Structure 1
Amino acid sequence: MIENKLLNPSNVDPVMELPHAAQDIPLWTEYCYFFGYDPEAQMGVSIHAGREPSDTSIWRATISIYLPGENLLVAKYCGRDGHARGAGAGPLRVTCVEPMRLWTVEFDGLCQATTRSASTNAAHPDSPSELVKFFLTFEGAAPFWDMNALMQNQSWASYHWEQICSIKGQLTVGGKTTNISAMGVRDHSSGPRDYGPLLSNFWVNALFPDGAALHGVNSRCEEEGTEIRMGYIFRNDGSPLENCELVELPHVCTLDTPAGSVARDPLTDPDVRKFRFVLNTKDGLEEVEGELLHTASTTYLSPNDELLGTDFTQLTKGQPKASQLAESPARFTWRGQTGYGGVERIARLVALK
């Protein structure tokens, strides 16, 4: 367990972990994200839950469940099921048990089968459903990271926090229950959200057996002065979380990226499937090798909606800036250790081939 003195280096008010009061601001919303992957079971989850800006009492959620091989289960729900300690959308319920320490994510409902290839190549069609149930605990494994100093001029939020976590729980699919022991990450953001100006990103979180955690992000909006490029390292040796310069990360699209030049499935791109990122820390350069293991995709539409799969038809439906969000479990090697984590990549549909 992280010492209290290391848990909250930016002295964020723990109340900010709970649902925020709705603001009378155009496109205001609030989002939380939960990701976890068990490499032994080859199973995990990726969940985005956010408020509907036109009625902030309604929460919307997109859910992807990673299964062995290329298989996925996906679902999209909405409902007025939020509560004083978290989000809720139909059969999905998220609860902050202890700010910065412990969250639970539970689901008891229906999902639909798809595959990684289908998810990255087309919108998900309606299809027969199957019962899925899970209960997962997200316990802070690294300090609570405050990104708010970087959020000026961002189109997707005004406030943003993240935490790398360890996950325990159970996932039931097809009547079979699997115990889950995983690395994960969660985040929480609020403010006006418009995906239109969001150009691209590559976002990495990794946790290692000795408790060390690493993070790197390069995120771009269209406007100058909005790029975020940095990382952090938590060594779990009694020293505090250290913000670092991000020296190297896979290519992130720019306005000049040619149309049809980026692989729509990250696992088919040799420069992305196996990659490295480099942090410049007070102890020198830290080089980390990464390999993507699976991917689930959603489509981002302006101002702030998400569709299951990758819907290229949106480019001819008044959404020329629609983007693909690809969420990938990944394996990392660093200083002789093997760890696991997640990689998020955003790229506009027009850039994909």
Structure 2
Amino acid sequence: MVAATEGHQVRLLPEDEYTHEPGTAENYNESMYFNVFDAAKRAGAWFRIGNRPNQNYAEMSMCVYFSNGSVGFMFARPEIKGNAEMNAGGLKIEVIEPFKTLRVIYTGDLLVMKDPLQMSDPKVAFLSNPRLPCRMDLAYTGLSPMYGGEILKADGTPIEIDPDKSFAKAHYEQHCAAKGYIECDGERLEIDGYGLRDKSWGPRHWQAIEWYRWCPMNFGPDFGMMFNVMSDGAGGARPSGMVYRGGVYDDITACDLTSSWDAHEYQTHLSADIRTRSGKSYAVTGKVLSLIPLRNRRTTPDGQALTTRITEAMTEYHCDGKIGYGMSEYLDQIVEGRPMGRLAGY
């Protein structure tokens, strides 16, 4: 992920909602991600397609947090040819009107787990739980302005990126409302809630960042937040994000984050003291309601085996006397069995 700095500019156009020319980097990735949480039902979900057209496959993943505590999950790497659309593995994303209305559709199987922590070993999880037929149709409506875009040089020309060290060259986010249904094994879950979507494109290795903590949340149609604390690669951390309130975004300039952990070193609680560009302060606390651990593994050309762990947790947030719902997504490179961000104190 690239952050804007002095001497750079950010560009975001309506056509960026569609796919881009991938260029020549083997690890080019173009991904769209959506989440939604229905506060009345204490249920939620997230969905992602990541096209890797120069490697001829896509990463498709979806996850449903059911009200009864069980979790439905599916992941696939279907073959694709080119980068013409976001449609792979049964998951399809349609742009109805850029920056305003999108549709997410899924038809396929869902692995339903009473104990989602089994996914720490995907082979065990897939052998131990039923795969049930699932259909989904959700309409997303943008509530906020767009946040982010492609980082360019001051003169408007592209910045130079080392593909082997890149996570994305462009990234944007938007707080949304979402309405529709998720039907699993004949049981229909009506969804009417709020969430956040994002898109990124450019070369990506999941191992390009030592660790990050990405926490998007909504407290209703007019109050949301996303804060991100990320390794700076030099032993420290840098904050980013925004508070959505009063119809505008207020950039986050500081975030003091602390996390609590269980025996597996998965997050259980968090607290964050937030400060924004306008001078406002927010105290946020979060409690994990349901967590699924995921991983990405890669072997470098010189034979080094790398493992990235991403814990995806539906989280209940409290701020300014309000209760909201969202994600706490913790990404860590695993070194000698330990998550790097945990070792760094986050």
TM-score with structure 2 length normalisation?
0.80
CA–CA distance in 2 between the matches of 1:169 and 1:90? 20
TM-score with structure 1 length normalisation?
0.78
**Residues 7-86 of structure 1: matches in 2 within 5 Å?**
12-56=12-56, 58-77=57-76, 78-80=78-80, 86=85
Residue 226 of structure 2 corresponds to which residue in structure 1? 215
Residue 297 of structure 1 corresponds to which residue in structure 2? 293
Q: Give aligned pairs, total.
A: 314
Would you say 1:134 and 2:136 are equivalent positions? yes
Structure 1 pair 111/284, CA: closer, same or farther in 2 (3 Å)? closer
Q: Is the CA contact (8 Å cut-off) linking 1:250 and 1:277 kept in structure 2?
A: no
Deviation at 1:262, TM superposition (A): 7.8
Deviations 1:2-60 (A, max 9, x none): xxxxxxx966211111111121123112111112222333332222211235435x422
More strand by share: 2
Residue 147 of structure 2 corresponds to which residue in structure 1? 145
CA–CA distance in 1 between the matches of 2:208 and 2:270? 28
SS of alignment partner, residue 20 of structure 1 = coil
Residue 310 of structure 1 corresponds to which residue in structure 2? none
Residue 156 of structure 1 corresponds to which residue in structure 2? 167
Residue 323 of structure 1 corresponds to which residue in structure 2? 308
Q: Is the CA contact (8 Å cut-off) linking 2:93 and 2:102 kept in structure 1?
A: yes
Would you say 1:229 and 2:239 are equivalent positions? yes
Quick one: which amino acid aligns to residue 28 of structure 2?
W
Would you say 1:192 and 2:203 are equivalent positions? yes
Q: Is the CA contact (8 Å cut-off) linking 1:33 and 1:188 kept in structure 2?
A: yes
Structure 2's unaligned 5+ residue stretches are 1-8, 153-158
Deviations 1:149-177 (A, max 9, x none): 49977621111111121111101112111
Structure 1's unaligned 5+ residue stretches are 1-8, 253-259, 268-272, 305-316
User: Of 325, 328, 331, which aligns to 1:340?
Assistant: 325
Percent identity (aligned): 18
Q: Is the CA contact (8 Å cut-off) linking 1:118 and 1:124 kept in structure 2?
A: no
Deviations 1:223-274 (A, max 9, x none): 44995422212212x5x3221212312369xxxxxxx99844323xxxxx24
Q: Is the CA contact (8 Å cut-off) linking 2:49 and 2:91 kept in structure 1?
A: no
Q: Is the CA contact (8 Å cut-off) linking 1:81 and 1:88 kept in structure 2?
A: no
Deviation at 1:345, TM superposition (A): 0.7
Deviations 1:285-330 (A, max 9, x none): 22222222211222022379xxxxxxxxxxxx952x3121112222
Q: Is the CA contact (8 Å cut-off) linking 1:59 and 1:87 kept in structure 2?
A: no
CA–CA distance in 2 between the matches of 1:140 and 1:55? 32
Q: Is the CA contact (8 Å cut-off) linking 2:239 and 2:252 kept in structure 1?
A: no
CA–CA distance in 2 between the matches of 1:275 and 1:303? 35
**Residues 237-248 of structure 1: matches in 2 within 5 Å?**
238=247, 240-248=248-256
Structure 1 pair 339/261, CA: closer, same or farther in 2 (3 Å)? closer
SS of alignment partner, residue 168 of structure 2 = coil
Q: Is the CA contact (8 Å cut-off) linking 2:54 and 2:82 kept in structure 1?
A: no
Q: Is the CA contact (8 Å cut-off) linking 2:292 and 2:312 kept in structure 1?
A: yes
Quick one: which amino acid aligns to residue 195 of structure 1?
W
Residue 278 of structure 1 corresponds to which residue in structure 2? 274
Structure 1 pair 192/247, CA: closer, same or farther in 2 (3 Å)? same
Q: Is the CA contact (8 Å cut-off) linking 1:70 and 1:294 kept in structure 2?
A: yes
Q: Is the CA contact (8 Å cut-off) linking 1:60 and 1:79 kept in structure 2?
A: no
Q: Is the CA contact (8 Å cut-off) linking 1:167 and 1:184 kept in structure 2?
A: yes
Deviations 1:108-160 (A, max 9, x none): 111222222212x4224433421111111121122211054499776211111
SS of alignment partner, residue 73 of structure 1 = strand
Residue 250 of structure 1 corresponds to which residue in structure 2? 258
CA–CA distance in 1 between the matches of 2:231 and 2:53? 23
Structure 1 pair 147/200, CA: closer, same or farther in 2 (3 Å)? farther
CA–CA distance in 1 between the matches of 2:237 and 2:219? 28
SS of alignment partner, residue 15 of structure 1 = helix
Structure 1 pair 88/324, CA: closer, same or farther in 2 (3 Å)? same
CA–CA distance in 2 between the matches of 1:53 and 1:198? 22
Q: Is the CA contact (8 Å cut-off) linking 1:70 and 1:116 kept in structure 2?
A: no
Would you say 1:351 and 2:343 are equivalent positions? no
